[in-house]
Chains A and B, each alone.
Chain A
């Protein structure tokens, strides 16, 4: 018989406390992202009635069940597609997509590049743990070269995506990369991207000590965090094409910050213009 755990946290109004403790492994960076996210909401004084969190499938997809806002745990890869629908149906809502690298860039890669191209007004936080954690540590689109995973037991020969470069070249207005070690910078970046209009993208390099770290003999979570601390190099304004992620160097910082008209602005302006120009009401 397990007694009910009592939980009182100063930020418990942002959490579904009955769901805690969460299911993530010891040392997983997902918990740190959750922690930084609710702290960013608290520091901004965000209106929780106008905030929606959308997540896809994967370890970090569980975050939708832990934050105490309207949230959707969507089908695999379709987090951005559903978030786009939410944003267009009700542009007053602030829509945040928090999902993993496999969900956003493997199966959901098309949705990502097209949402960035259209500049849909979303905040996308991608937690990059270099593999598919939930299904057993398989090779993913961000697995670094020569890494061992369950589906690349002799080393990975596939070149990984540079997520920051992909987002910037697809048209994101704000691109940043941090690691789970950079808690203050990550919180600041989440706050900055929540305040901005347009497609904002934050990549968070997260330790996965149970699968990626174990297969690559990187030690416990603490050793992986010390590795992130050692190899990361802050370079604000760096060209995302040159912002590498490898076992010897991870370039972090805020890379892109530009202003562009957003998709929901443009589409509502278009609707106004078309309605104003003719007396016939459009269907739907």
Chain B
């Protein structure tokens, strides 16, 4: 199946703001995020994209993030 290309936006993650609640990873509708391996200054591993093509730029992660650590650059 061809992946949608019209919704593309760049996902920006402010790694030092992440407190590791995992809401973005849990509630992502296309399961596009996972924890990274490198911890930030707080000692939690911020999320990162599994691979570039999966994100549909729905904006759920940027709205549900309590720490304002994710934003989409449209």
Contacts and interface: CB of A to CB of B under 8 A. Distances in A.
B66 A35 contact: yes
A32 B64 contact: yes
Interface residues of B, number: 24
Interface in B28-74: 41, 44, 60, 62-69, 71-73
B63 A22 contact: no
A31 B65 contact: yes
Contact of A225 (B14, B27, B41, B62): B27
B68 A2 contact: no
Contacts of B69: 21
Interface string B5-31: 000000000101101111100110000
A24 B23 CA distance: 15
A2 B41 contact: yes
B64 to A, nearest CB: 5
Interface residues of A, number: 32
Contact of B21 (A22, A187, A222): A222
A184 B63 contact: yes
A254 B67 CA distance: 27
Interface in A67-118: none
A176 B7 CA distance: 32
A1 to B, nearest CB: 11
Interface stretch (A5-13, A136-144, A244-252, A276-284): A5-13
Interface of A: 2, 5, 7-11, 15, 20-22, 24-32, 34-36, 39, 183-184, 187, 220-222, 225-226
Interface of B: 14, 16-17, 19-23, 26-27, 41, 44, 60, 62-69, 71-73
